[in-house]
Chain A
Amino acid sequence: MPLPADTDASTPKYLRDKYAIVGVGETVYTRGSGRTTRAMGSEAVRNAMADAGLKPGDVDGMLSYQGVDSTFGPMIAGDCAMRLNFYMDVFGGGSSTEALIGIAIGVMEAGLCKCVAIFRSMNGFSQVRIGGTGARSAAPVSGDMLHTRAYGWQSAGQSFAPTFMRYMHDYGTTPEQVAMVKVIHSEHASNNPKAYYKKRMTVDDVVNSRMICKPLHLLDCCVETDNATCIIVTRAEHAKDLRHTPALIRGVVGRCNKPRMDMHYQAGPISRVAGWYAKDILWPNSGVGPEDIDVTGAYDAFTFTTMLQLEDYGFCGRGEGGDYVSSGIMRLGNKRPNNTSGGHLCEGYTHGMNMVIENVRQLRHDIDDSCPIGPDGKRQHTYDYKEGGCRQVKNVEVTANLGWAMPGTGSAMVMRRG
């Protein structure tokens, strides 16, 4: 694959392609798992090991992220017969996946361990609801939270709404343009047997769904689901003994921020998101730019988060996000599909890990759609993207994941086919 000439990077270029994602696994995406996060997490880790062709003794590192809503790594490792040389459970939601991949590379580079399983396990519908309803919404409000939650400014949608609204004001973006993110992701989900919501939606469906918090209709918001996901990262040179074509990690940027994270709205323009800063690490470190990317995974906690990130990472010009997402460019079969699984809006909510898993499978040229399986045991992809059809993108070589925590914080990663 031809790559553009190297540009100056702010971290050593020798890490490019040195590490790879060699295994991915997940549970079903459901509402009402009827299981603990421990049971789901260990299933996802076992599935990822089986996918990679690794045995428990081959994995000696574990990372996870959570918000006091999951099971710690050592419990999962025990249930998977692993002895760990390194583990860490961090506090975090969206954008943690790419950041933890960066940490995994760092600890392996430092010699702490040699193969890291990263998991996220959550009952985001049946236990700690990601939309913020339930027990968390009725908690007392203390200290610094008096400047936000006391005003009914608490859930993710409420917290981000002023960013989205100001963007529409500044650039004349319409609700119909933004709704196209949901429309396109729902088309992709209709070709994903795993997706929680498989029904194709129209712009009218989105803008006529009930208002949650302006500018967010119900269908501008992601689904809440129960599920666990896992990816396994190791040195690329180990991948040759494993089952799949590795997804080589070109470059990562982790939890990059705007100024004033105590209240990022003090740093204008407020419609600018962390990607505007993160791009200056991502592209030089990866040695590629937006034009080189075949498939994007721009985090869709809301329709708006996909749009704002694609714009600030440079996939379109300032203020052109509405044109970009409504142009059809993100559709399967077109130039640069986004979230081919249906993402958080449709497949299920994992705080970002399922979007990395999807791009790993795209890079293997072995996406798990409904295409027939041939005599060699591999799917015979038709590249017919009609409802219920194929979702493999032809000849994918380079992907980008753009992870979102909030307007002020994001992570990203570029991978290429090994």
Chain B
Amino acid sequence: MALQGTHLGMGLDVNDLDTENLEYFKYCAAHDFHLQQCEDCNLIRYPPNTGCPWCASPRARWTRVEGKGAVHSYGEVHHAIQPAFKTHTPYMILLVDLDTQKGQPNADEAIRVAGNLALPDGTLAPADLVKTVGIGTRLRMVFTDVAPGLSLPQWAIDEAAQQPAKPWRYPQE
């Protein structure tokens, strides 16, 4: 069944034919992160799609993946483009290397999951928190509940993890 919701005033939808995204968001709505794992080469992939990017197999199973990792890179938006984000600047666009499968299938690879820096309740993080996060910061996945059946994965600081002494940030604050 199609998904629809409104996030920060911005319409989100997944249509009836898009079975891969419907399945992905079904797990997100239960706050139980799952990704497709190839049934032939066993590599896990993100975002959801219709075939294995390494071996081309269309056969995949949904597998539970731990939502923990470290910031690989980021952008920090100070001038928002979309109306939805105008009142939320600065906000972070994060690419997070999951601990799961890091360094596979080669040393430069990782499952890199996008998201914003958020508070544990899934709301966008305030400016003073943005300033503390950079490349290397340890994060854990949280969820923003958009509508019944539709939640977005997001990233919050992992308070239980050992953090780097000084995560790398762009030189100008």
Q: Is A316 at the interface (CB under 8 A from chain B)?
A: no
- Does chain A have a CB within 8 A of B61? no
B residues less than 8 Å from A137 (CB atoms):
81-83
Q: Is A154 an interface residue (CB 8 A)?
A: yes
Return the contact of A142 from the options B14, B78, B108, B171 (Cβ within 8 A).
B14
The reply to whether A165 and B73 contact each other, CB–CB distance below 8 Å, is yes
Contacting pair A161 B75 (CB below 8 A): yes
Give the contacting residue for A147; candidates B84, B88, B114; CB below 8 A. B114
Question: Does A85 touch B at the CB level, under 8 Å?
Answer: no
Residue of B nearest to A176 (CB): B171
* B129 located at the interface, meaning its Cβ lies under 8 Å from any Cβ of chain A in the complex: no
Is there a chain B Cβ closer than 8 Å to A146's Cβ? Answer: yes
Chain A 132-173 interface 0/1 with B at a Cβ cutoff of 8 Å (1 = within): 110001101111101111111111011001110110110000
Is the Cβ of A214 less than 8 Å from the Cβ of B170?
A: yes
B76: interface (CB < 8 Å): yes
Interface residues of B in 94-123 (CB under 8 A from A): 95, 108-112, 114-116
> Cβ of B12 and Cβ of A266 under 8 Å apart?
no
Set of chain A residues within 8 Å of B108, measured between Cβ atoms: 267-269
Contact yes or no, B152 A161, CB < 8 A = no
The answer to whether B75 touches A213 (Cβ under 8 A) is yes
Across-interface contacts of A56 in B (CB, < 8 A):
none
In the bound assembly, the distance between CA atoms of A215 and B168 in angstroms comes to 13
> Of B44-52, B62-70, B156-164, which stretch is located at the interface?
B44-52
**A193 contacts B by Cβ under 8 Å:** no
CB distance from A318 to the nearest CB of B (A): 13
Q: Mark A209-238, 1 if CB is under 8 A from B, else 0.
A: 011111100000000000000000000000
Contact partner of B84 (CB less than 8 A), chosen from A152, A168, A169, is A152
A146 close to B73 (CB less than 8 A): no
Contact A152 B135 (CB under 8 A): no
List the B side residues contacting A146 at CB < 8 Å. 12, 14, 21, 25, 152
The answer to whether B85 touches A260, judged by C-beta atoms less than 8 angstroms apart, is no
- Judge if A263 is at the interface, Cβ distance under 8 Å: yes
Query: Is there a chain B Cβ closer than 8 Å to A207's Cβ?
Result: yes
In the assembled complex, the Cα of A263 lies from the Cα of B110 at a distance in Å of: 12
Q: Closest B residue to A208 by CB, please name it.
A: B172
Which residues in chain B, 8-29, are within 8 Å of chain A measured between CB atoms? 10-15, 18, 21, 25
**Which residues of A have CB within 8 Å of B83?**
137-138
Distance (whole angstroms) from the CB of A168 to the closest CB of chain B:
7
A78 CB-CB contact with B under 8 Å? no
Report if A259 contacts B (CB, 8 A). yes
Min CB distance A291 to B, Å, is 28
Closest-by-CB residue of B relative to A151 is B116
Q: Are B53 and A143 in contact (CB under 8 A)?
A: no
Contact B93 A158, beta carbon cutoff 8 Å:
yes
The answer for the CA separation of A137 and B80 in the assembled complex, in Å, is: 10
C-alpha spacing A317/B88, complex, angstroms: 40
- Shortest distance between the CB of A234 and any CB in chain B (Å): 41
In the bound assembly, the distance between CA atoms of A211 and B11 in angstroms comes to 27
Given A162-B93, A175-B172, A270-B73, are A211 and B79 neighbors across the interface (CB < 8 Å)?
Answer: yes
Q: Which residues of A contact B77 (CB under 8 A)?
A: 152, 158, 212-214
Whether A138 pairs with B75 at a CB distance below 8 angstroms is: no
Shortest A175–chain B CB gap in Å is 6
With a cutoff of 8 Å between Cβ atoms, the chain A residues found around residue B81 in the complex are 131-133, 137, 152, 154-155, 158
Q: Is the CB of B75 within 8 A of A166?
A: no
Question: Which of B75, B111, B115, B171 has most chain A Cβ within 10 Å?
Answer: B75
> Of B11, B74, B82, which is within 8 A of A165 by CB?
B74
- Tell me the complex Cα distance, A211–B77, Å: 8
Give min CB distance, B116 to chain A, whole Å. Answer: 5
Q: How far is the CA of A131 from the CA of B77 in the complex (A)?
A: 14
CA–CA, A270 to B112, complex, Å?
10
Closest Cβ–Cβ distance, residue A172 to chain B (whole Å): 10
A385 interface contact, C-beta 8 A: no
B67 CB to nearest chain A CB (Å): 15
Q: Which of A148, A149, A163 contacts B73 (CB 8 A)?
A: A163
* Cβ-defined contact, B10 with A213, below 8 A: no
Instruction: Kindly state whether residue B33 has any CB partner on chain A within 8 Å.
Output: no
Beyond A138-B82, A158-B75, list 15 extra A-B contacts (CB 8 Å).
Answer: A140-B12, A146-B14, A150-B7, A150-B12, A151-B152, A153-B93, A153-B114, A161-B75, A162-B73, A162-B74, A166-B135, A210-B78, A212-B78, A263-B46, A269-B108
Q: Can you report 10 A-B residue pairs in the complex whose CB atoms are below 8 A from each other?
A: A141-B10, A143-B13, A143-B21, A146-B14, A147-B114, A150-B10, A169-B73, A211-B172, A260-B53, A267-B109
Task: Give the 5 A-B residue pairs with the shortest CB-CB distance, closest first.
Answer: A161-B75, A268-B108, A140-B11, A162-B73, A166-B73
- A: which residues have CB within 8 A of B? 131-133, 137-138, 140-144, 146-155, 157-158, 161-163, 165-166, 168-169, 174-175, 207, 210-215, 259-260, 262-263, 265-270
- Residue numbers of B with Cβ under 8 A of A are 7, 10-15, 18, 21, 25, 45-47, 49, 53, 72-85, 88, 91, 93, 95, 108-112, 114-116, 135, 152, 168, 170-172
